[in-house]
Amino acid sequence: MIFEFANPKRFMTLSGALLPWFAGAAIILLGVGLYLGLFVAPPDYQQGDTVRIMFIHVPAAWVAMMAYGLMALASLFSLVWRHPLADVAAKTAAPLGALFTTLALITGSLWGKPMWGTYWQWDGRLTSFLILLFLYLGYIALWNAIEDELRAGRAAAILALVGVVNLPIIKFSVDWWTTLHQGESIFRPDGPTISAVFIWPLFLMAFGYTALFMTLWMIRIRTEILERRARTLMLGH
Amino acid sequence: MNSVRALLFRDMRLATRAGGSAMLALAFFAAVAALVPLGVGADLKLLGRIAGGMLWVAAILAALLSLDRIFQADYEDGSLDLIALSPLSLEASAAAKIAAHWLTTGLPLTLLSPVLGLLFNLPEQGYVALIASLALGTPAASAIGAIGAGLTLAVRRGGVILPLIVLPLLAPAVIFGAGAVLSALDGLANGALWLVAAFSLAAVLLAPFAAAAAVRLNLAS
């Protein structure tokens, strides 16, 4: 199925039709999620209103990791099946991933100041996210450094796959190293340990962020395809 | 096997003779290490505590410095094309080059580290862990560094991008390596040493394939 949409022309038609739906879903989900999170959910008995940062912070972190997974998957497709569209998909996912990683880091440190008493702590979770940001930056830098597009795509794909092998190791190493960040409170075998008033806005925000990511990703892929087309046309004249 | 040995010895000769960078990497290692006390002050207790982590960071930086030797020099003078054309698979050549890089950088750094440990007032119980963790961990720096070196082969000013690509991937080596020294100082059981070894083994096993793929795509033009 993926191979059918790997045709750029078909992708343009399909993504053009899907784009308004994703954008609409992002606006509605983020709107309702923010309303529930900022106005309906009560202040936490320990954290007070600071708990609301969670609704912006946690989904950003989830999407930042999802973006790396998607980028690596696209890289695999590009290396194995040599789809030009997979190259474009991987390339355009990276800056978005870096953006969401930065957002998660900034909101996290804003939450950390009142809660932990410090903006930054060399804690496992924080450090592995900082390294994730560097992985994204290295990937983007490699893309920009190699002029030949085909070669740049392949080199970047190898880097993304090396990164995906190493990512769990990095995560596991820094988690062992030292940890302050709270443990898992949502996806636990015995059910979530946070109250439903908080869970609902959190999930709405998570889906909203995902829809936002998909919207921006599609726009970026479309722009890149059009840009390449325009460049080919210019070279033809 | 003969050609692997020939390539290994050739690379080691190139690194150690005039114009090679094996000695430079060592000098760089010592120079970085000497800068740290100037930066953090001469508190011997503090220096003894951070010696392991500091020498690890310096060792990784020194290994990075000489990465261009793995493929770049051969790429520029065309010998990499001949190596790729030879009956020896590029994966095996990459493995030989990684080994040569480690023997001329990682190994001398490891041997020099106890001397620097002395200068840093590293307590007695830390030396075995320091030497063992560097000996086990620096192969990972050469191996993962080779992937970066292969990827940035055709990049002008690749030396600037190379650290950005390689350093985040080497974080586990530094964490476990420096952690092994610290837990030896505290007299704790040293599981971190096994993790350094595991990380290094995985890197050394997988890196030749990734590095060879990277070199191949840069040679095919």
Is the confidence at residue B177, as pLDDT, over 70?
A: yes
**How large is the average pLDDT for residues A202-221?**
92
Supply the pTM of this predicted model.
0.88
| Domain span at B80 | 2-219
pLDDT at B145: 94
* Alpha-carbon torsion, ordered B183, B188, B190, B196, to 10 deg: -20
pLDDT at A157: 93
pLDDT confidence tier of residue A172, bands split at 50, 70 and 90: confident
Is the confidence at residue A56, as pLDDT, over 80?
A: yes
Is the confidence at residue B116, as pLDDT, over 60?
A: yes
What is the spatial distance between Cα B161 and Cα B153, in angstroms, rounded to a whole number?
11
B165 vs A contacts (CB less than 8 Å): 138, 141-142, 159
pLDDT at A14: 87
For A76-129, write each residue's pLDDT tens digit.
998 888 888 888 999 999 999 999 999 999 998 888 888 777 787 777 778 888
In this complex, do B171 and A177 lie within 8 Å of one another by their Cβ atoms?
no
In this complex, do B167 and A134 lie within 8 Å of one another by their Cβ atoms?
yes
For A15-27, write each residue's pLDDT tens digit.
888 999 999 999 9
Q: Sign of the CA dihedral A219, A221, A222, A226?
A: positive
* Residue A161 within any structural domain of the chain: yes
Nearest partner of B135 among B110, B170, B159, judged by Cα? B110
A146 vs B contacts (CB less than 8 Å): 154-155
Q: Is A41 exposed, middle or buried (0-12, 13-18, 19+ CB in 10 A)?
A: buried
Percent of chain A with pLDDT over 70: 88
pLDDT at A191: 63
Q: How far is B182 from chain A (nearest CA, A)?
A: 11
Is the confidence at residue A1, as pLDDT, over 60?
A: no
For B7-57, write each residue's pLDDT tens digit.
898 888 888 887 677 788 889 999 988 888 888 888 888 888 889 999 999
* Residue of A134, A146, A170 with shortest CB distance to B172: A170
pLDDT at A70: 93
pLDDT confidence tier of residue A190, bands split at 50, 70 and 90: low
pLDDT at A63: 92
Q: Which of A125, A135, A166, A174 to mutate to test the interface with B (most CBs of B within 10 A)?
A: A166
* Residue A25 within any structural domain of the chain: yes
A174 vs B contacts (CB less than 8 Å): 171, 175
Query: Distance of CA A88 to CAs A85, A228, B198, Å?
Result: 5, 10, 35
Q: Does B179 touch chain A (CB under 8 A)?
A: yes
What is the spatial distance between Cα B144 and Cα A163, in angstroms, rounded to a whole number?
11
In this complex, do A146 and B172 lie within 8 Å of one another by their Cβ atoms?
no
pLDDT at B146: 95
| Domain span at A74 | 18-179+197-236
Indicate the number of domains in chain A. 1
Report residue B101 as tokens: 């890089």
Percent of chain B with pLDDT over 90: 43
In this complex, do B172 and A159 lie within 8 Å of one another by their Cβ atoms?
no
Ramachandran sector of residue A189 (left: φ over 0; alpha: ψ -120 to 50; beta: rest): alpha
In this complex, do B151 and A138 lie within 8 Å of one another by their Cβ atoms?
no
CB-based contact B74:B123 (threshold 8 Å): no
Is the confidence at residue B114, as pLDDT, over 80?
A: yes
For B144-174, write each residue's pLDDT tens digit.
999 999 999 888 776 788 999 999 999 989 9
* Residue of B156, B158, B165 with shortest CB distance to A138: B165
Q: Sign of the CA dihedral B72, B161, B176, A175?
A: negative
pLDDT at B132: 94
Q: Does A235 touch chain B (CB under 8 A)?
A: no
For B68-101, write each residue's pLDDT tens digit.
888 888 888 888 988 888 888 999 999 999 999 9
* Residue of B154, B161, B202 with shortest CB distance to A141: B161
* Residue of A127, A142, A165 with shortest CB distance to B206: A165
In this complex, do A154 and B155 lie within 8 Å of one another by their Cβ atoms?
no
pLDDT at A5: 60
pLDDT at A4: 58
Indicate the number of domains in chain B. 1
What is the spatial distance between Cα B205 and Cα B76, in angstroms, rounded to a whole number?
27
pLDDT confidence tier of residue A181, bands split at 50, 70 and 90: low
